[in-house]
Structure 1
Amino acid sequence: MEHVQEKIVQVTGLRKTFGRRVVLREVNFEFSAGKIIGLVGPNGAGKTTIMKALLGLISTDAGDVQILGQPVSVNTHTVVTQEVGALIERPAIYPFLSGWQHLQVMTTSTTQMAWVVKALQMEDYIHYPAKRYSLGMKQKLGIAMALVDHPRLVILDEPMNGLDPQSVKRLRHLIVQLAQTGTTFLISSHILSELAKIIDMVILIDQGQVLLQRTMTQLQASAHHSLVIRTTENPRALRVLLHAGYSVTRRHDDLIVAKSVALTPLLRTILGAHIQILNMDQQQEDLETVLLGLLAEGKR
């Protein structure tokens, strides 16, 4: 259990400006080993800048970054070299080297190279020169280079870009597998529906500030739930429910009722008016809807 609680990343008071533009404002967050963290926010929010600061690729104006308890900056990033794998923006690929040769730059272990090639299903083209690779092949190679040396922390910026649905599913499965063995992931992605399937925690950033850091369990608890009801007489059912004091609206062929109501009395109200229920379903806001709502609140 101690290994699970070990702090992998600690960011304190991080500030970064480009000219007069403030890109990061007092950014603070931390997370433990074996977690999958989603770093989300609008374009230009500062996500890639945070990732570059974590890797010691850019200087910052204030604040501290620590990985595995060791400081990281442009001058001090031994821990990054030894313990971190990353794919930031586009993979650095040399057109005349094969995929296999790219992996050889990252590790001397042919066992690990064979493992990652199989895991990402790159066997058919791994020995071809990279100039023959499609966008999706290059993206998989970049991910393979980040994973091949079994780093403790993996930082992935939009890893699903250019991947077909099957490759996205395979990548999700691989990330979850590796996290279960202790690898920690920080992933930025605008495909929130895919991210929501694997992450343990969300860090929401907007205009260079962390608006919240919450577990998926906490976010799901804060999501709005509703009942979607379809009856033989929706207009009359709407009047009956409103008269009975329910918060209900009509949307197309459905009636939408807040879920925080007792189900049995609601059903009795409809059936007592001799209205037949054709369908009833529960709905919960998805991650994107929840986060968009939080972003809107943050801008008020």
Structure 2
Amino acid sequence: METVLSISNLTKHFGRIKAVNNLNLEVKAGQVFGMLGPNGSGKTTTLGMLMSVVNPTSGTYSWFGETPSHHVRKKIGAVLEHPIFYPYLNGQKNLELNCMIKQCDPASIPRVLELVELTERRNDKYRTYSLGMKQRLAIASALLNDPTVLILDEPTNGLDPMGIAEIRELIRKIAVQGKTIILASHLLDEVQKVCTHFAVLKKGSLIHTGPVDEVGKGTDTVEVNADVSNLNEILLSFAGTSSINRENGSFQVSLRDGFKSKDLNQFLFEKGIVASHLVTKKKSLEKQFLEILAES
């Protein structure tokens, strides 16, 4: 798979503050790559350097195996901060102005408006748009020159639940078209729902990177309930039990490596117990994220 972005020892200091510290990352073609971290972790500074808005203190990065240049940047669309549109112009006119600035063909405007579902509102003034619509217009603007890579900085920040859902669905639609997407977020749920890969930053340093679908791999936790008075003792007697917690009226059984929920179910069945509730719980990205931060 082609490497779209390669970052080597990228560092940015603001005086004594190490905003980004020796960052090493690779993003492959077609990935939806989430840069995850609390506020102040260096996500926005990193994106600023990648877009040549912020000068690195040291380190290098390359796009498509090339050093940054005007030719390379034309392959990248970005929504870094609150976009600037003219409130008294409609969506169509604002995009026409953006085409003039970017020197791209205005024939692409109907396509991007359709993609972000603003065709019917294209003749309405920008100031009448909801926050979610404004964000969708910004993404449309970033897609005008049909870039290979789309960069989004906190794309759902400040949106209501419906606006968040709309942006997530839009990101999925763009990804299906084969574009590589890099997004920064402090929202774990956002990254888990739309990203294929993610990196965790803490105080400017990379502390974890990997595929999102590997979250939760490892030892299983099984939530169990049964109409038996001594269920706790019975579960403890199972050879695959590592530990047990009581939570919300159910027993949370952490299994040893090599044991699965079906083994526990078989064990209970052999003891004449039919579980009224037995569910394998995947470790959420939130839990893994907190564990990663605690370990670093």
TM-score (norm 2): 0.87
Q: Which of 276, 279, 285 is equivalent to 2:277? A: 279
Name the counterpart of 1:231.
Answer: 226
The DSSP-based 3-state class of the residue aligned with 2:194 is: coil
The DSSP-based 3-state class of the residue aligned with 1:161 is: coil
Q: Render the CA deviation track for 1:71-127: whole Å, top value 9, x for unaligned.
A: 23xxx55422x1111111312223233221221233343442112212222134322
Of stretches 110-119 and 30-39 in structure 1, the one that deviates more from structure 2 is 110-119
Contact conserved, 2:35 with 2:182, CA < 8 A, in 1?
yes
Structure 1 position 137 matched with structure 2 position 129: no
Structure 1 residue runs of 5 or longer lacking an equivalent are none
Name the counterpart of 2:82.
Answer: 90
Q: CA deviation at 1:37?
A: 0.4
Contact conserved, 1:237 with 1:270, CA < 8 A, in 2?
no
Q: Render the CA deviation track for 1:16-63: whole Å, top value 9, x for unaligned.
A: 111111111101111121211011011100000000000000111101
Structure 1 position 121 matched with structure 2 position 112: no
Once residues 41 and 281 of structure 2 are traced to their aligned partners in structure 1, the CA distance between those partners, rounded to angstroms, is 30
Name the counterpart of 1:294.
Answer: 292
Structure 1 position 242 matched with structure 2 position 236: yes
Contact conserved, 1:139 with 1:161, CA < 8 A, in 2?
no
Once residues 150 and 237 of structure 2 are traced to their aligned partners in structure 1, the CA distance between those partners, rounded to angstroms, is 56
Once residues 265 and 219 of structure 1 are traced to their aligned partners in structure 2, the CA distance between those partners, rounded to angstroms, is 22
The DSSP-based 3-state class of the residue aligned with 1:221 is: coil
The DSSP-based 3-state class of the residue aligned with 1:51 is: helix
Q: CA deviation at 1:226?
A: 1.1
Q: Which of 61, 69, 91 is equivalent to 1:99? A: 91
Q: CA deviation at 1:271?
A: 4.5
Q: Which of 38, 43, 46 is equivalent to 2:34? A: 38
Structure 1 position 17 matched with structure 2 position 32: no
Once residues 92 and 241 of structure 1 are traced to their aligned partners in structure 2, the CA distance between those partners, rounded to angstroms, is 60
Once residues 121 and 151 of structure 1 are traced to their aligned partners in structure 2, the CA distance between those partners, rounded to angstroms, is 19
TM-score (norm 1): 0.86
Q: CA deviation at 1:164?
A: 4.6
Q: How does 1:150-169 map to 2 (within 5 A)?
A: 150-169=146-165
Structure 1 position 112 matched with structure 2 position 108: yes
Please tell me the root mean square deviation across aligned C-alpha atoms, in Å.
2.3
Contact conserved, 1:172 with 1:198, CA < 8 A, in 2?
yes
Name the counterpart of 1:61.
Answer: 57
Once residues 152 and 168 of structure 1 are traced to their aligned partners in structure 2, the CA distance between those partners, rounded to angstroms, is 24
Alpha carbons of structure 1 residues 296 and 121: separation in structure 2 relative to 1, 3 Å:
same
Identity over aligned pairs, percent: 28
Name the counterpart of 1:71.
Answer: 67
Once residues 266 and 132 of structure 2 are traced to their aligned partners in structure 1, the CA distance between those partners, rounded to angstroms, is 55
Q: How does 1:204-223 map to 2 (within 5 A)?
A: 204-222=200-218
Count of residues paired in the alignment:
288
Contact conserved, 2:31 with 2:180, CA < 8 A, in 1?
yes
Structure 2 residue runs of 5 or longer lacking an equivalent are none
